[in-house]
Structure formats: C-alpha cells, structure tokens
Structure 1
Amino acid sequence: MVDRPGRTDWGVFGIAAVLATAFIAWGLLATESLQAFSETALQVLVRNGGWVFVTAGTGFVVFGLILAFTRFGRIRLGDDDEKPEFRTSSWIAMMFAAGMGIGLMFYGVAEPLQHFTTPPPGTNVAPGSQEALGAAMATSLFHWTLHPWAIYATVGLALAYSSYRRGRKQLLSSAFVPLFGERTANGTVGKIIDILAVFATVFGTAASLGIGATQIAAGLQQVGWVGSMSNTLLVAIITVLIAAFVISAVSGVSKGIQWLSNSNMVLAIVLAAFLFVVGPTVFILDLIPNAVGSYVSDFGMMISRTGSVGGEDTTEWLSTWTIFYWAWWISWAPFVGMFIARISRGRTVRQFVGGVLMVPSAISLVWFAILGGTALFEQRNGVGLADASGEEEQLFGMFDQLPFSGVLSVLAMLLIINFFVTSADSASVVVGSLSQQGSARPRMWVVVFWGVVIGGVAISMLLAGGDEALTGLNNTTIIAASPFVIVVILLCFSLMKDLRQDRVMLVESRSAEVLEEAVIYGTEEHDGNFHLEVTPSEPSDDSDDSGDSGDSGDSGDSGKEESRSSSSSDES
C-alpha cells in the first residue's frame, strides 16, 4: 500500500494540541503555579507509584528476553519468506543514531562523577573509593543499557509486528487490536492511546532539548562567548534552534539536515577516539571489564531499590535518577520505537530483540568507559570536576585538562546542537504521523506546529524548575510519562496475545496436536507397529477459514479424525 500524505485525525491532534499549548501558557504566564504543582504532584507520584516505574523497567527486560529465547523468536516481522530490508551493518548504524545523543553527551561525564563522589543508596561504599568506582559505573550502565532499550524494543516490536505482519496502520492504537478488539482499538479508546503517545513524545523530547540547551549554554560560557548562565539565555538558545528547525523544514533543505544527522555518528566516534588516545587509555581499558562485573554483581540490588529501603533519601534519589530515567525512556518510546520498527522489517523477533538490546548497550558501555572513565581518572587525581557548580559544566571542565580543549568544546557544542535540531525534526515527524492516522508523510504544517510546541514545552519545563532548571525537566517528565507507563504495560499483553495467534504458532501447535493424536491412535490400535501417511481429508462443514483470527477450537476435532485416517498398520 502506497503511503499518501496524511489526513489529520482532528480528535487526536486537537485534544493533544490544546493540552500542550495550555501547558505552555501555564509555564509562561503562571510559572510559580506550575512549579508548585509539579513539585507536589511529583512527591505524590513517586511516593505512591514509584514502584510501578521500578518494577515495570525490569519487567520489560524480562519480557524481551522471553520473546527472544522462546519459540516466538522465530516469527518474522513481515511475510514468512521476507528478507530484512536493510543489511545488518546498516541496521546497526541506524540504530546507533536512534535517540540518545543529547543524553549521552550530558550524562556521559556527569553521572559517573556524581555516583563516584556520592554513592547511590544501598551500595554501602565510601565516596571516592575503588568500590565507589565500580558502583558508579554499574549504576550508569543500569540506567543506559538493557533497561531503556528493552522499553524501546517493546514498543518497536509491537508496532513492527502489527504493521508488517498483520497489515495494520502504523499507530500505537493499532497494536491494541488483539487486546481490545478492532472496534475499540480504532474508536475512542484507541484515540486516547494515541493522544497519550503524542503527549509522552512531546514531553520526552522537550526534556532532551532542555538538557541540551543547558549544556550548550555551559559550553558557550566555557569558551567565553557569553557571561553567566540564566533562564533568559536558555530560552534564547531553544528559540534560535527551534527557528533553525522550522526554517530547514519549510525551505526543503531536509537533505542537508539528513547529512548532518548522519555525520553525528562520525563526529561522536571522532570525539570518543580522541579521548581514548589522549586520555588515560589503560585506565579506560581496565574500567570496561570492571564496569561489566560491577553491573552484574549489583544488578539484583539495583532493580529492587525502592523508597521502602532507605526512606526519604532513597525516594528523593530515585526521583532524580532511576524513576526520572525510566519516565524519560518511556516518553521517548513511541518516537524511538516507531523509528526502529520502520528499519526492522523482515527481521525475526529474535534478531530484533537481540539487536535492539545488545548493540546500543555495547555502545553505551564503551561511551561511558571513555568519557566517564576520563572524568573519573581526573577526579581521582585531584582535578575536582565534581566541584563544578552544575552538571552541565563538567564535560567542558574535563576538556580543560586535555590538549586542544577549545577545539573539543566547540566540537561538543556542534554535536549537541546537531542532536538538538535533528531530535526536534524526527520527533515532530513522529508526532505528526500519530496525528495523521499513522502516515509516514505527515503534512508540513503539522510537523512545524509540533516542532514549535516541543520547543515551547521545553521552555516551560525549564522555567518550572526556577533556579534549578534541570529539576523542572525531571519533575515534569515523570508526571507527563506516568499515564503512558500503563499503556506500555498493557501493550506487552496485547503483543503476547497477537504472537500466540500468529500463523507460525498455530501451525506448530496444530502439527504437534495431530502428530500426538496419530501416535496415540497407532499405539492403541496396532500395538505400536504402524507408520504414518499423509492423505487428503474431506473438509468439515464448520472449518474455520478466518486466517489470522487464531480460533483453533473447531479445527482440533477435524485434526484428530485426519490423524486417525492417516494411520495405517504395517504388519508383516
């Protein structure tokens, strides 16, 4: 089916647009009110529902592994004989570019440093010790490897299977047909699901843009191009970069933006390779196996860390780190999930889950070992990076200790700016697609509208944090993503039901049933001395010819008769 320019679903678009613009107005016109609301709502949500995020995050990892290592792994995302649309090398390269650029630039240095100097609850290690080094890397990997990509894999797999195997629209609501039925999934309930997906994507992307803006401001300050950081500067940065996105979108220079987007991977590799060579190379190499070992040994403690263990301190830590991350990844899931679904047609479930979980996790491991390892080495040698006034400044503080620090700072800012613009571009297309009945070619005015809205939401989220801009991003992201975590949990049940009704599963079950019945019959009637033949049988009057419906109740009886008629004695 040829995809045509989208037709706007005014129910989804209208409600989501009104809610998003109302939030922007709230943030701009009544900032203190939004700030007070977000703080109160966050406390209630984390205290009473934090366990949902913590438990669900690990549940998605288990769910993905079950699909990959059981018989469901053989199911193909497309026709049975369909080949992957992209070569494995291209598939991996595109996955690398899928959606963590700004976060990796910001937290690649900041997170290991924070956990090294202030170890997470439950680790029981001394700050700055060798044990704290392992705990810092283990916690960073916990937040950036299997768990986030399991969330993306769940949504991406459901979309890919629903679209390419079942032929449904590329909408999140379409993946709920097995659970709710076609009428409900395509009706009001489906529209609510798509609205929540739009809302989550807008706020998740806005959080990334806000984080990127704070780090760009820190870089400009580091190279002496601006004075002190302020909310005015952050608003100006977001406004200018969103304007650049709008200009690129309406002027038709998307090929140039696409080229810049592809260059992100090259620039990131160049930056990491330079740090690896001029930085503490041996320390970085030693850190990789140490980080993996610490991650494995601390895994049980990290997945079970809740507010019930350490009280208010642990609850506050979780809202700043783990729960914020899980909410952030969940809000990005429609965006990244739709992207990896579109590049994964023709792959099996096992290939999909294995690639989506393992390849980005390995990249994150190397990235944190190089950037985080360099920062930790400098911190242990008395540089004092962790004493910087803000996490956004620590990357540039690390560059100051290396050759060509000015060049590195400019390169990092270019990377962040590029990630910023391309993230706004890609997210706007995805939200536009959700607003226009799943079309891969949403109309330009819809894309531009959502790009501007995402920028406005990012500004409101920053202002809601007051003097602590990142606090506003954290708080609002968790609140906005909280309804969508229920959607993703329900999506697991819907996907499992869909897979159980797949033709491959039904044929396998039917074959086992027929063979078992034939062997039992042959053993009872011929004392085990028999062989099996396959012969045509008369179709039963109530045969089920519904294909994908998965109703095998009537076919079981006819299968038994066929297995008996196919058994014949072989007595000599």
Structure 2
Amino acid sequence: MSGSSQNGETRTNNQRHLSSYVPRLGPGGVSLWVFYPSIILIVAVCVLTMAFPDRAGEFLSTIQENVVGTFGWYYVVLVILFMIFAIWMGVSRFGDITLGKDGEPAQFSLVAWFAMLFAAGMGIGLVFFGVAEPLMHYDSPRPGEGAGPAADENGFGAEGIGSEGADLAQYAMAQTFIHWGIHAWAIYVVVGLALAYAIHRKGRPVSIRWALEPLLGAERVRGWLGDVIDTAAIIGTLFGVATSLGLGVEQIGAGLESLGAIDDANTGVSVLLIAVITSVAVVSVVTGVERGIKWLSNVNLGLAGAFLIAMLLLGPTLFLVRELVQSIGVYIQNLVPLTFDTSAYAGAEGEAWQGSWTTFYWGWWISWAPFVGVFIARISKGRTIREFVAGVLIVPTLVTFLWFSVLGGSALHRQLYGEGGLVNRDSLDPFERVIPENALFELLSDVRFGTILSGVAIIMVTIFFVTSSDSGSLVVDMLASGGEQEPPTWSRVMFAVLEGAVAAGLLLAGGLQALRTGAILTALPFSLVMIAMMWATYRSLRAEHHVRRATQERESRQELEQNVRRSVTDELSEMTDRR
C-alpha cells in the first residue's frame, strides 16, 4: 500500500471515528456549553462597562498595572518562543506535509488567500498606527534609549532638528517594525498551523479544542475541558476584534472631522459610528467567505495598494525608497536586542512604556490569535506547511514594512526636514502629543489631493472594520457551533452585533487605554493554550513523519526485493537461453 493511500485511509477512519464526537447542540445549531457561557460573560462585561464607565475604567487601569508589572517579561519570552517555533516549522522536515489530502490543490489562489489573510490580520491597525507610531517613537522614545541632542528640555524630540534626529528617527522605525513584523505573524502561525493540520489533515471540526487532541486525548477534548477552551477562545477573539473596531471607529471619526463632515469626533459619535458600520457588517455576514469576505478583501487590498502608491509618488519618493532599505537593515541589526528588551533598567517610566507599547502589542496579537488562526486555517486548505509559514510569516511582514516606511517615513521626513507641526508641543503626554487617530489626516492635509486621499483612507478603515467584524463573527460562530464550517447565520449576526457592543463599551470605559487593557488581559489565559498547541502540533507532525518514513522504508524494501527477484529471474532466463 502506498504512503498516500495509507494516509488517506487513516484520515477516512479518523473521520468515521469522529461520528461519536458530535457536540451537544441546542436549538439553533449552537453548542450549549460553549455558546451560552460565552454570551453571559460577554453581555455582563458590556452592561457593566456601559453602566459604570468611570469605575470600569479605573478597574481596567489597576489590572493593567498589575498585569504589565508582573507578566510583561512573560509576554516577551512567549513571543520569542513563538518566533522560534514558526521558523522551525517552515524549514524543518515537516515542511512538505500538505494541510489537506496529499496532492490536494489550494482552495484559494495566492492573491485571494493573501488578501483575506491581510485584511483579517491587522488591516485596521496598519491604517491607525501607520503614521502615528514611528512619529511617537521618534518624539517619545523608549525610556533609557536616550534622545541625546535630538531632545528638548523635557526629553521629547525637538522640533526641526534636521540630521541630528536621524538616529532617533531610524530607531523609531526599527521599533515599529519589531511590533508589526515577524513577531506578530509568528503568533498567528502557531494557532493557524495547529488548527489547519487538525482540520484539513486529520478531518477534525473547526474548533480550537481539536488542536490539543494529541495532548488531552479525544474524550477530554470532547468534554468540559474542550468547552472551556473554546469559550476562552470566543471571549479572547471577541475582545481582540472589538479592540480593533474601537481603534478603527475612532479614526473614522477623526477623518470625518478633518473633512468637515462632523463637528466633534467625541465618544458619542464613535459609538454611533460603531452602530452604523456594524449594521453594514451584518449585511456582509450573511454572504459567507466565498462572496462577502473574499470580495471585500480583494477590493480593500487594491484600494490600500493604490493609496500606498499615491503616497509614495506624492511624497519624498527617493527618500522613502532609501528609508525602506535602510530601515530593514537597522531592524535586522537590532532584532535580537529589541526582541529581548523588557525595560528592566528603565524604572517606572520604562514599565509604563512597555505596557503601552510592546506588552500591549503582544497581548493584542495573542488575543487576535484564535480569530486569525481559525480564519487562516479555514482558508489555507491545500497549502503545504512550508507554503503556509512562508505566506503567513514573510509576505505580510514585507508589505507591513513597506506600509510603515511610506506613511511613517513621510511623517518623519516632514518633522525632520519639513515644516513639522505633527506634534502637539503643549502636552507632556505622549498620546496627546501625537494623537494616533488624527495623525494620518494631519499628514494628508499637507499632501496634494489630500482631501481625496482622506476619503480613501476612511473607506479603507470602514471596509477593514466590516471584514474584521465579518471574519470575527464567522470564527466565533464556528467555535460556538461545535466546529461547523458553515455555522448558523442568525448567530453570526448576533456575534457581529456583540463585537460592536463590546467596542462601544470599552470606548465608554476609557477609550484607547481601555482598549489596550482589554487586549492585554484577554491574551493572558489564551497564551497557555498556545503553549500547549505548539507541543501538540509537534507531537502530531513527529508521529506522522515516523509513519511516512516507515512507509517509505517498507516501500523501498519491497521495491528492492522486486528488483532483486526480477534481476535473478532475468539472469536465470539468460542462462537458460544460452544452454
């Protein structure tokens, strides 16, 4: 029997065996012990944050201080492990294993696959922080980094400092690359690969729990422990998506204000925008992956590409191209020290910086990991492990670097060599000196066709909002319905509404700071699941590799025996003929 035939037979037997693993579904096709506990907890958070926004804000702030102070180092070590694991999977002996049946073609083309991956992964965040983050790291560098001659009397980046601030600006871009580059996508690889292998290779349902089957066993995965895992994944996914939606709607409000469409982009306006755009997302929800998400992702990828090219051509083009090449070099040079940096010698200021930036990002990406992991696993059928790792890890990272080099580089060029004005010099709060949701539109106000580009940016964020909400709803609904790849439409609509409600609740409880805290907190419990996923994935791949190698050795022996017998037969035949 050939290796592919044996593997196919094994998967068929596994799928038959799964007939006893049918989840306990209630009315409407949802899993009783996953759906209802998730809904109760999520609704409770929404009600409490909206009813007592001030107390909720104080509570979240206190928890953030404790979590960052205690677990900041843990997040750093965790992400390092994820990076090592992801790269190892791509270059290891397991790389040629197909996430599906042997020889099965990919479900989506490379362009469509990448568009959906990127739109679901971090689209809103790129538009929100594309201009602001490099500018903020330049103006308010990590404590202990030292601004030197580039600092004013308060330690912030000085106005119009020209070439003296070049080193600080270059550090700012490298720090941004750390937060948005390989580190972030390695987190997605861990969850996405574990799920894609379990779903497409082993025939398991689309559910986080089944990625841990090699460790926990089928009975525990099917029981209450599996329910707890999927419930935690739902809550983490919903809060992670809500964080992005909150950031996106703040930027949409700032854009509308810059165009004169509204007078004041306050929290009330943001909540209203969430309601309106969530309604649009609900329309996309009912069309599914093959139509709504795929179509919107392709449109937005083209729109983002056109916006990026326009900014490159209308800005200091040669400087931006040179800056991209140089920043990648500085990023590689500082990759190890910045990866391991925990601000240990920077005191309370360093700890606060770590919580507002690096720890926030690692928590944000981890809280998104169930959502993005399930989604990219769902759309990656037919890819080999090596293709999967390369596609998820390398290509989005390079595009992200290009995005920040063009947008952030334009802001830094204006601040260093142009008229400046992107930093509010009257404040000592870094998040008031550069307001992230306003930074893009302040930059565009001085660019030719800036009004048109501002409108394009608003449309981009809106579509990213819709695709994130739609994708998040699909993932959460698959988890809540026992792993069904086509879950009930009514519950997808309900989860889309809940995502908007959580985003509104967090905004009312403290805006950006509450959103940051929510991401950090929801990541902590799920990080333990991700550690288990790495070990479970390795065990599964190692077991399959041993089976494949044993099969190949047996087939080689059989082929050798056949060749020997054939040779002996031919030799005897020749001897007989000679006689």
Q: TM-score range by the shorter chain?
A: 0.7 to 0.9
Q: Which residue of the other structure, out of 327, 342, 346, is the alignment partner of 1:291?
A: 327
Distance 1:79 1:12, change over 3 A: same
Aligned to 1:432: 477
Distance 1:142 1:400, change over 3 A: same
Q: Deviations over 1:451-475 (max 9, x none)?
A: 111111101111121xxx2111111
Aligned to 1:385: 422
Distance 2:506 2:546 in 1: 47
Q: Deviations over 1:20-55 (max 9, x none)?
A: 000001111111221121111111111111111111
Contact 1:54–1:306 (8 Å) recurs in 2 = yes
Distance 2:112 2:274 in 1: 32
- Does 1:404 find its partner at 2:449? yes
Deviation at 1:84, TM superposition (A): 2.7
Contact 1:123–1:135 (8 Å) recurs in 2 = no
Distance 1:508 1:117 in 2: 56
Distance 1:76 1:251 in 2: 29
Contact 1:38–1:479 (8 Å) recurs in 2 = no
Q: Which residue of the other structure, out of 114, 120, 137, is the alignment partner of 2:142?
A: 120
Distance 1:303 1:251 in 2: 41
Aligned to 1:51: 73
Distance 1:304 1:251, change over 3 A: closer
- Does 1:507 find its partner at 2:539? no
Count of residue correspondences = 517
Q: Which residue of the other structure, out of 35, 41, 49, is the alignment partner of 2:57?
A: 35
Aligned to 1:526: none
Distance 2:264 2:402 in 1: 33
Distance 1:72 1:252 in 2: 32
Distance 1:370 1:124 in 2: 25
Distance 1:256 1:202 in 2: 20
**Counterpart AA for 1:13:** F
Distance 2:385 2:182 in 1: 17
Contact 2:120–2:471 (8 Å) recurs in 1 = no
Aligned to 1:19: 41
Deviation at 1:88, TM superposition (A): 3.4
Deviation at 1:125, TM superposition (A): 4.2
Distance 1:202 1:88 in 2: 28
Deviation at 1:97, TM superposition (A): 2.9
Distance 1:463 1:89, change over 3 A: closer
**Counterpart AA for 2:142:** P
Q: Deviations over 1:250-274 (max 9, x none)?
A: 6999956753442101110111010
- Does 1:447 find its partner at 2:492? yes
- Does 1:478 find its partner at 2:520? yes
Distance 1:122 1:80 in 2: 53
Deviation at 1:312, TM superposition (A): 1.4
Q: Which residue of the other structure, out of 187, 195, 216, is the alignment partner of 2:252?
A: 216
Distance 1:397 1:48, change over 3 A: same
- Does 1:490 find its partner at 2:527? no
Deviation at 1:505, TM superposition (A): 3.0
Distance 2:100 2:492 in 1: 29
Distance 2:276 2:496 in 1: 12
- SS of 1:308's equivalent in the other structure is coil
**Counterpart AA for 1:175:** A
Q: Which residue of the other structure, out of 377, 382, 394, is the alignment partner of 2:439?
A: 394
Distance 2:226 2:288 in 1: 33
Unaligned runs of 5+ in 1: 519-531, 537-572
Distance 1:382 1:433, change over 3 A: same
- CA RMSD, aligned part only? 2.6
Distance 1:193 1:157 in 2: 17
- SS of 1:340's equivalent in the other structure is helix
Deviates more, 1:310-319 or 1:83-92: 83-92
Deviation at 1:245, TM superposition (A): 2.4
Distance 2:439 2:36 in 1: 41
Distance 1:459 1:92, change over 3 A: closer
> Counterparts of 1:93-104 in structure 2 under 5 Å?
93-104=115-126
Aligned to 2:561: 534
Distance 1:167 1:53 in 2: 32
**Counterpart AA for 1:385:** L
Distance 1:256 1:12 in 2: 27
Deviation at 1:201, TM superposition (A): 0.6
Contact 2:120–2:467 (8 Å) recurs in 1 = no
Q: Deviations over 1:383-419 (max 9, x none)?
A: 2212266221110000011111111111111111111
Deviates more, 1:256-265 or 1:143-152: 256-265
Distance 1:346 1:318, change over 3 A: same
Q: Which residue of the other structure, out of 509, 529, 533, is the alignment partner of 1:464?
A: 509
- Give TM-score scaled by structure 2 length: 0.84
Q: Deviations over 1:140-174 (max 9, x none)?
A: 11111101111111111111100111111111101
- SS of 1:80's equivalent in the other structure is coil
Deviation at 1:93, TM superposition (A): 3.7
Distance 1:246 1:347 in 2: 30
Distance 1:294 1:64 in 2: 23
Distance 1:514 1:339, change over 3 A: closer
Distance 1:341 1:31 in 2: 37
Q: Which residue of the other structure, out of 137, 154, 163, is the alignment partner of 2:173?
A: 137
**Counterpart AA for 1:114:** M
Q: Deviations over 1:443-500 (max 9, x none)?
A: 12101111111111101111121xxx21111112111221111111111111111111
Deviation at 1:248, TM superposition (A): 5.0
**Counterpart AA for 2:237:** T
Q: Which residue of the other structure, out of 54, 75, 85, is the alignment partner of 2:97?
A: 75
Unaligned runs of 5+ in 2: 1-14, 151-156, 158-164, 425-432, 564-579
Distance 2:477 2:204 in 1: 18
Deviates more, 1:269-278 or 1:299-308: 299-308
- SS of 1:224's equivalent in the other structure is coil
- Does 1:157 find its partner at 2:193? yes
Distance 1:59 1:11 in 2: 32
Contact 2:116–2:297 (8 Å) recurs in 1 = no
**Counterpart AA for 2:130:** G
**Counterpart AA for 1:166:** K
- SS of 1:100's equivalent in the other structure is helix
Distance 1:67 1:257 in 2: 29
- Does 1:327 find its partner at 2:363? yes
Aligned to 2:10: none
Distance 2:31 2:214 in 1: 22
Percent identical among aligned pairs is 38
Distance 1:189 1:473, change over 3 A: same
- SS of 1:314's equivalent in the other structure is helix
- Does 1:268 find its partner at 2:307? no
Which is bigger in relative contact order (C-alpha 8 A, separation at least 6)?
2
Distance 1:413 1:88, change over 3 A: closer
- SS of 2:120's equivalent in the other structure is coil
Deviates more, 1:34-43 or 1:336-345: 336-345
- Does 1:62 find its partner at 2:103? no
**Counterpart AA for 1:508:** R
Contact 1:173–1:185 (8 Å) recurs in 2 = yes
Aligned to 1:339: 375
